[in-house]
């Protein structure tokens, strides 16, 4: 998915991520892309769907999203 212009949802997501502490540039862009896919992909959402439409492989989404959400 190529983002060509600044969309309203981009500014909303970036403003939300500005409030999160310790987010580096790479993780910020990864989360921006992932949130856009969550908003735009219809039907069942899984790592295979993210890999199909995204620019990263399934394992990358699985490692970053699953491991970061299960830490307590």
**Is residue 42 one of the residues assigned to a domain?**
yes
Domain that holds residue 35: 8-70
- Its pTM stands at 0.68
**Is residue 3 one of the residues assigned to a domain?**
no
Number of domains in the chain: 1
Taking the chain (72 residues) in consecutive chunks of 10 residues, what is each chunk's mean pLDDT? 65 84 85 86 86 89 72 50
pLDDT at 68: 55
3-state secondary structure the chain: CCCCCCCHHHHHHHHHHHCCCCCCHHHHHHHHHHHHHHHHCCCCCCHHHHHHHCCCCHHHHHHHHHHHHHCC
**Is residue 2 one of the residues assigned to a domain?**
no
């Amino acid at each position: 998915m190529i983002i060509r212009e600044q969309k309203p949802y981009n500014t909303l997501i970036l403003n939300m991520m500005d409030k999160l502490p310790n987010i580096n540039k790479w993780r910020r862009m990864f989360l921006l892309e992932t949130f856009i896919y969550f908003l735009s992909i219809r039907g069942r959402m899984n790592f295979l769907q993210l890999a199909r439409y995204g620019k990263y492989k399934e394992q990358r989404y699985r490692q970053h999203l699953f491991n970061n959400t299960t830490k307590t």
